[in-house]
Structure 1
Amino acid sequence: MTTHATLQLTIDCAEPERLVAFWAVALGYEVEPPPAPFATWRAYWVDQGLPEEELGTGDCSDSVIDPRGVGPRIWFQQVPEPKAVKNRLHLDLGVSGGRTVPFATRKERVLAEMARLESAGASRLRIEDSQASGSFSVLMQDPEGNEFCVH
């Protein structure tokens, strides 16, 4: 018997609600709503018996979902230790349209997305610009320093 697995990405972080807000904007995702009939995730977790002191502050929203139901759920798991080294896994955001689109247009699209994500709290690490190979991308960091690429 074969079991169909679902995919969830889990990202360790210090402030889940901060990253939920950023990645919802970056990916066009939605903050995952709490299970009915609860108004907040905090209310849900308290009902499930988690002590208030373990819940931190805010409404405890810690995941985003693709409103189309296509992409994976992303859960931001609060951990006590800070990020110390480069990610072993990172997200790539493809916004250029691919190699069938003229290089100048792809570059323009990537730069526009970079600016949009910077205004949402990301920071730019470096731009990779190689017209000779037809490659243009930007290495960025989310608000907690997790690397991702825009291409």
Structure 2
Amino acid sequence: MAARIDLTLDCANARLLADFWKAALGYVDEPPPAPFTTRGEWLARFDLPADGSEDDGAWLCDPDGIGPRLSILRVPEPKRAKNRLHIDVRVPGHGGPGERWDRIRAESERLVRAGGRVLEEFDGHHVLMADPEGNEFCVAAAPA
């Protein structure tokens, strides 16, 4: 059996990034683990820093249970360099190269409206973008 993975993003503002990635991926807030009824109740089990809060983290999941879970955690240090691992947002649909590129461009424009920014376009292939805190990701067509 293959191992499952979760992805974790360090950040300065967990709510900001959670809202962006929910819009980007169609993810939802993950419910707290059983038997807890709230995320705050679950977090109370841990020895968190005195200045910590429930807003220091966000946990997202694919509502269909297919994609990896995404944890977004506030850390004190700023982002300093290019990501060594990045997310590819794959745009569904088939068609010729022009149609795929139109869908990629439309998705990147939607993600700009959600708070991302375009870093570079690789015409006809993919768009390199950054989320609101500068984490790089690509928008590309899903494999045919």
TM-score, normalised via structure 2 length: 0.85
**Which residue of 100, 103, 114 corresponds with 2:97?**
103
Task: Give distance in 2, aligned partners of 1:91 and 1:51.
Answer: 29
Task: Give distance in 1, aligned partners of 2:65 and 2:92.
Answer: 22
Aligned residue for 1:18? 16
Aligned residue for 2:135? 146
Structure 1 residues 119-130: aligned runs within 5 Å:
119-129=113-123
**Structure 1 unaligned regions, length at least 5:** 130-134
**Structure 2 unaligned regions, length at least 5:** none
Structure 1 residues 76-115: aligned runs within 5 Å:
76-95=72-91, 97=93, 101-115=95-109
Number of aligned positions between the proteins: 140
Contact 1:8 1:75 in 2 (8 A): yes
Per-residue CA deviations over 1:100-151 (Å, capped at 9, x if unaligned) read x21221111011101111111101111111xxxxx42111000110000001
1:137 equivalenced with 2:126 (yes/no): yes
Contact 2:127 2:138 in 1 (8 A): yes
Structure 1 residues 38-117: aligned runs within 5 Å:
38-46=36-44, 48-51=45-48, 53-56=50-53, 58=55, 61-95=57-91, 97=93, 101-117=95-111
Displaced runs of 4+ in structure 1, greater than 4 A? Answer: 36-39
TM-score, normalised via structure 1 length: 0.81
Q: Which has the larger radius of gyration?
A: 1
Task: Give distance in 2, aligned partners of 1:87 and 1:103.
Answer: 28
Per-residue CA deviations over 1:2-53 (Å, capped at 9, x if unaligned) read x75321111111112211111111001111122356553123212x154573
Most deviating of 3-12 and 64-73: 3-12
